[in-house]
Amino acid sequence: MELPDSHDAGDFGQFLTGAEHDWGLDDEAALDARTDGHMDINAVRAGATLVCPVKVDGGGVYAGDLHVNQGDGELSLHTTDVSGKTELEVEVIKDLDIDGPIPLPNEEDLPHIAKPYSDEELEAARGLGERYGVDVSEDVGPIQVIGSGATINDATENAFDRTCHLLDMTEGEVARAVPSPAASRSDGSPA
């Protein structure tokens, strides 16, 4: 199903439901075809990697709606739009089964708790692993899973559903893996 780029998300896409123009949708269920290509998040910036679903043959890449002071979403329904130039490198990953975009943010954008382990941290973990007979996972990294919906609660539930599917985990396992704001101090160091 084709959706206009500007409404390819669960929030603005709601305006297509019942609309009396060529892009109008019969019901909200039709929005399940969305790829959430209209993300409005600050992690998608120069140097970041973005893994996106392609749900139609010959799917293309849309870059636009650039913002100079973007937060994580447009909860107030506005930001400062600017013109800009984008340079993209595209690679196709065949048979990747994802419902929405997955940003892999720049390391400098990550909170302390999500940064890659330092050599010293890995050495300490290996020592503890040997001491207690535990295998240490060294090749790990943070991901973000984008969710969208008519409300912030719907968007959060959509992100949890997508994460459960992607990682083959239960919602409880995913919820325990999500760091809460209380898990770190305001300077980003562990609480």
pLDDT in tens, 67-107: 777 766 666 667 788 888 888 899 999 888 898 899 988 99
Let me know if residue 97 belongs to a domain: yes
Percent of the chain with pLDDT over 70: 88
Beta-carbon contacts of residue 123 (< 8 Å; ≥ 6 apart): none
Task: Show the domain range for 72.
Answer: 5-105+142-179
Q: What pLDDT does residue 71 have?
A: 67
Establish if 77 belongs to a structural domain.
Answer: yes
pLDDT digits (tens, 9 = 90+) for 28-63: 888 888 888 777 778 888 898 999 888 878 877 877
Per the structure, the count of domains in the chain is: 1
Q: Is residue 110 part of a domain?
A: no
**Is residue 100 within 8 Å of 155, Cβ to Cβ?**
no
Record the pTM. Answer: 0.73
The yes-or-no verdict on residue 164 having pLDDT over 80 is yes
pLDDT of residue 72: 65
- Domain annotation covers residue 93: yes
